[in-house]
Structure 1
C-alpha cells in the first residue's frame, strides 16, 4: 500500500501561505481572517442579509452570526432593519470598513499577481476549471454518504 496525500492538504497548505501573506500586509487593519467576507459585505453594502451571505459562502447560519458579531465588535459592520421585511437585518459597512476594504482588495490583487507569476491565463483557466470540477464531484458524495450511513441497519 502506498501513502497518498489528500488533495485537501495541498490546498490547505496553499491557503495558509496565502493567508499568512495577506495578514502580513493587512495586519494593521485588525480584520482577523475575514477579509473576503468583509469585502463581500462592502460590495453589497445594505443588500445582503446574514442568511444570504451564509448561502453565498456555504457557511452555516450560526457560524455566520459569530463572524458578523466579530466584525461588528471590531467596528467594520452593523446590522440595519430591512424596511421591506422587518424579520431580516441587512448588513452595512462602517466608515472604518470603507477605508479598510480598498486596501484589502489591493492586497488581494497584489498577492494574486505574485502567486500566479509565470502561470499563463490559459493555465489559470484550467486550474479554476479543475477546482470547479473537483468541487462538483465532491458535493454529491456528501449527500450520498449521509444517505448511505442512515440506510445502514443499526446492530449492537
Structure 2
C-alpha cells in the first residue's frame, strides 16, 4: 500500500474508524452505542458543565454538540437541567441509566489507547502524542466549521 500521496486527513479518517471500531468492541457489553467520550466527560463532571463547556473541551462546533447531546438525551443517558443560579443556563447531568457505565467507558478508552500504542514501538509513544497535540494546537484557528464538506458548493 503506497500512502505517500494520501491526504493527511485520509490517515486520520482511517485511524478514527479503526479506533471507534476497537472501542465499540470493548464496550459492546454496555447499553451505550456511541458518543462514549462526551458521555464520559458529562459523567465525570456531572452537573458541572453546560453544552458550550463540553463543546470547548471536545473542540467541537455548537451544531455538532447539540446533535450529540440530543442523541444522548434521547437514549436516556443524560438530562439538561436548569442551573438554579442562572436560569438561562442548562447543566448536563447523567441519568441513573448511564451512571454504572461511566467507569466502564473510562476503562474501555484506556484499553483502546493501550491497544493502539501497543502497535507502536515504545520509543514513538511520547512523540506521537506530542505531534498530535501540536497539530491540534496549531490548527485550531482554521475555520473548518465554516465549510460544508458534504454539500455541493454554490
Match for 2:121 among 116, 119, 127? 119
Q: Within 2, Cα distance between the matches of 1:86 and 1:22?
A: 37
Q: Within 1, Cα distance between the matches of 2:138 and 2:52?
A: 25
Matched length: 140
Matches within 5 A, 1:1-156: 4-117=5-118, 119-120=121-122, 122-140=123-141, 142=142
Q: Within 2, Cα distance between the matches of 1:136 and 1:54?
A: 16
What TM-score, normalized by structure 2, do the two folds share? 0.81
Q: RMSD of the alignment, in Å?
A: 1.9
Task: After superposition, give the CA deviation of every residue in 1:21-76 in whole Å (9 maximum; x if it has no partner).
Answer: 11122234343320000000011100000111112212222221221111111111
SS of corresponding position for 1:89: strand
What TM-score, normalized by structure 1, do the two folds share? 0.80
Q: Within 1, Cα distance between the matches of 2:124 and 2:44?
A: 28
More helix by share: 1
Structure with max Cα Rg: 1
Checking the alignment, whether the CA contact within 8 Å between 1:41 and 1:93 is kept in structure 2 is yes
Q: Within 1, Cα distance between the matches of 2:50 and 2:66?
A: 11
Unaligned runs of 5+ in 1: 147-156
